[in-house]
Amino acid sequence: MTHPAISPSTALGTSRLLRKHSPMPYPRKRFGQHWLKDPAVHEAIVRAAQLNNLEKDADPTWVLEIGPGTGQLTRRLLAQGVQVVAVEIDRDLCRLLQKRFADQPHFHLLEGDFLRLPLPPQPRLLVANIPYNLTGPILEKILGSPAQPVLQFKRIVLLVQKELAERLQAGPGSKAYGALSLRTRYLADCELICRVPPTAFKPAPKVESAVIRLTPRPAPTPARDPRWFHQLLRQGFSTRRKKLVNALGSLVEREAVAAALAQLRLSPNARAEELDLPHWLALSDLLLEKAPKGAVVSQEEQEPG
C-alpha cells in the first residue's frame, strides 16, 4: 500500500496571517523548533485525529497539543469546536499564544516542559509536531511501557522524523526493526498517514518527516511478566548481530535460550530481528522460568530505551 506524500504547497497565506497578528518568532534551535508552514499537512493532521469520532461519553472533545508553536495547528483544532489544552515550553511563544487566542474560551495553555508536567486528565486525543530529539521520551510518556501502559488516549497523531515512523512500523528482518518497533506494537496500533518533505517547514530540517497515528490499546496477548519482556527486548537488540543464545547470555544460561528456541521451532542461530512479537512474547514467558533470582529489574531500574 502506498501512502501519499504531502506536496509542499505555498505557505503565503499562512505567512500573511501570522504577520497580520504579530511577527513570526524565529525558531529556536535549543527547543528543536521547526515551524510547519504547509496548510495541507495541518489539515492532514486534523483529519487523522478524527475529532468527532469518540464515544458519546467523551463529549465535549478535549485535545492535548504538545508544542503548539505559533498556533497554526491550534487554530484549526479550535475551528472544529474542541477544547484544546496546549503545552508550550517557550515563554515568548506562550505570550504570543495567549494574545492570539485571548478570545477563545476553549483554549487552555500550560507553560512548561511537557516531560516534567503531569498529563492533563481531560484530553483523550493528542496531536503534536514534536522536537525530533525528544521523540523517545515523549513516546514513553504518552504510551507508557509494557509494565505500565498509558491508556488515556484513544488516538495520538504525531509529526515525526520519517526514520522513526519506519522504525515504528518495521517488521522482522528489516534494518529498521528493533526493540522500539516491538514495544510500540505491544502498546498500540501504528499507521502511516503521509510523508512530509523538508520544504513544509521553516527552517527546513535536514531529514524527511511523516505523520503517524497511534491507537493505544491493551496488549492482545499480555506477557506473563511485562518487565521481563521489556528487559529481554532491550538485551536482545543491544547486540543485534549476535545470535540470541549469546545476546541473552547475561540474563539466562545459553542452554536455556537454546532449549526455548527449539521449543518454539526457531533456529538455534536466530537473531533478535528475526522474531516477530508473538515469538518474543512466547520466548519471554519460557525464559521467565529460567531467569535467576533478581534478574528481573523493576521499572525504575530499567534505563529508557
pLDDT for 104-161, tens place per residue? 999 999 999 999 999 999 999 999 988 888 899 999 999 999 999 999 999 999 999 9
Kindly report, residue by residue over 53-89, the tens digit of the pLDDT: 766 555 569 999 999 999 999 999 999 999 999 999 9
* CA–CA dist 33, 30 (Å, integer): 8
Q: Rounded to 5 degrees, what angle do the CA atoms 128, 199, 112 make?
A: 30
For position 268, what pLDDT does the model report?
96
> Which segments of 153-248 does DSSP mark as H helices, in order?
162-169, 179-187, 226-238, 244-247
Question: Residue 29: which residues within 8 A CB-CB, separation 6 or more?
Answer: none
Peptide bond into 60 cis (omega under 30): yes
Please write the tens of the pLDDT for every residue from 30-61. Answer: 555 677 889 999 999 999 999 987 665 555 69
Domains of the chain: 12-216 (3.40.50.150), 226-288 (1.10.8.100)
